[in-house]
Amino acid sequence: ELEVLSQFTHQPAISKDGHRIEVAANIGTVAESQMSLEQGAEGIGLFRTEFLFMNATSMPTEEEQFEAYRAVAENLRDHPVVIRTLDIGGDKELSYLELPKELNPFLGYRAIRLCLDRPELLVTQLRAILRASHYGKLKVMFPMISNLDEWRAAKALYRQAQEQLTSENIPFDDAMEVGIMVEIPSAALLADLFAQEVDFFSIGTNDLVQYTVAVDRMNEKVANLYDYFHPSVLRLIKTVIDAAHARGKWVGMCGGMAGDELATPLLLGLGLDEWSMDGGSIAKIKRAVRSLDRAECEQIANSLLSIGTASEIREQLKPYLHR
Ligand code: PEP
Ligand code: MG
């Protein structure tokens, strides 16, 4: 099975009727960026920058961050790399930040909320990312966006970082794309308005499921209720993709659903443009896309959207596995 699968590693993900999608990798370290190309990645759809912060005893400097982002940009050469700004808080702690204990950390002071409260932290990171954009094809996205104000505030800090670098004569890619993660239902429901302002969306199903069905993604007691095939989640995904495409924007997915081949016909049918996953899943998903007909998948997706339970949706998708 492994040997057969490896023949798909470096093939493009093109459906039988000629529709190509982009298959990218999720990474958390510079080392993983090197490995991802060997695993068949056509880019990085999610660079979780937390590791830089969590493996340190004090806040990483702009220079330290710049070196890491530049290394990833250079490793990936002309392939796109989406860097996500700091997503700390919730279950992820930082010893040197002394965040207060919270009753509901997943609903609390984390990610973009924390960064907008400490703008110097975000501006430093954005300066490092912008500087690295001179050495590769970088894009940047903000995590845990729940409303337009947060997005606009983050974008204003991005402009501020750009202006600083310009006045310091430091080069950067001034056409770098700036997007948001869609991982909170309130953002998915406003996708039509966000689509007028952002360059792209990346759907984070890991959190989107947690917040849509009110199930802690870490709690095994309720793990049976945690399912990205929940019909409500599918409707949110469709809402986001349709809203983005209506404005000519692209949509990626970097949550676990993108790496599940049972979901491939559905996501292909809904029109997802970029799929980002653990490197180990890439060959499998490429094989799945190459076995499918996109026009047929559109019909499948349409009919699945009127089904009321996740278990029935899973059942209906099974015949398309390894056809
Ligand atoms: C997600 O929420 O789906 C995601 C990709 O981000 P993380 O798993 O890092 O929260
Ligand atoms: Mg998330």
Per 3-state DSSP, the chain is made up of helix, strand and coil in percentages (nearest 5) of 50, 15, 35
Q: Quick one: pLDDT at residue 2?
A: 61
Q: Quick one: pLDDT at residue 98?
A: 82
| Closest atom of ligand 1 to CA, residue 255 | 3
Q: How far is CA 223 from CA 62, 159, 255, in A?
A: 39, 41, 16
pTM of the predicted model, to two decimals?
0.97
User: Does the CB atom of residue 207 touch ligand 1 within 6 A?
Assistant: yes
Q: Quick one: pLDDT at residue 93?
A: 82
Stretches in the chain below the pLDDT threshold 70: 1-3
How far from each other are the two terminal CA atoms of the chain, in whole angstroms?
A: 15
Q: Quick one: pLDDT at residue 7?
A: 96
User: Does the CB atom of residue 205 touch ligand 1 within 6 A?
Assistant: yes
Nearest to 11 by CA among 288, 298, 319: 288
Q: Quick one: pLDDT at residue 89?
A: 83
Residue 175, burial from CB neighbour count under 10 angstroms (0-12, 13-18, 19+): exposed
Q: Which residue's alpha carbon is nearest to atom 4 within ligand 1?
A: 204
Distance CA 165, CA 145 (A): 26
Q: What is the distance, to the nearest Å, from the Cα of residue 243 to the centroid of all Cα atoms in its chain?
A: 17
Please write the tens of the pLDDT for every residue from 117-139.
999 999 999 999 999 999 999 99
Counting DSSP H helices and E strands in the chain, the numbers are: 15, 9
User: Does the CB atom of residue 183 touch ligand 1 within 6 A?
Assistant: yes
| Closest atom of ligand 1 to CA, residue 183 | 2
CB 108 within 8 A of CB 138: no
| Closest atom of ligand 1 to CA, residue 256 | 3
Taking the CA of 47 as reference, the closest ligand is 1
Distance CA 69, CA 73 (A): 6
Integer-rounded Cα radius of gyration of the chain: 19
Q: Quick one: pLDDT at residue 95?
A: 84
User: Does the CB atom of residue 48 touch ligand 1 within 6 A?
Assistant: yes
Residues β-bridged to residue 253: 203, 275
Of 47, 83, 206, 211, the residue with max ligand 1 atoms within 8 A of its CB, to mutate for a pocket test, comes to: 206
Q: Which residue's alpha carbon is nearest to atom 7 within ligand 1?
A: 206
User: Does the CB atom of residue 252 touch ligand 1 within 6 A?
Assistant: no
User: Does the CB atom of residue 237 touch ligand 1 within 6 A?
Assistant: no
Of 181, 217, 275, the residue with max ligand 1 atoms within 8 A of its CB, to mutate for a pocket test, comes to: 181
Of 27, 47, 48, the residue with max ligand 1 atoms within 8 A of its CB, to mutate for a pocket test, comes to: 48
In angstroms, what is the span from residue 256 Cα to ligand 1's centroid?
8
Residue 259, C-beta contacts closer than 8 angstroms, at least 6 positions apart: 275, 277, 278, 281, 284, 285
User: Does the CB atom of residue 39 touch ligand 1 within 6 A?
Assistant: no
User: Does the CB atom of residue 254 touch ligand 1 within 6 A?
Assistant: yes
> How is residue 63 written in tokens?
């220079």
User: Does the CB atom of residue 264 touch ligand 1 within 6 A?
Assistant: no
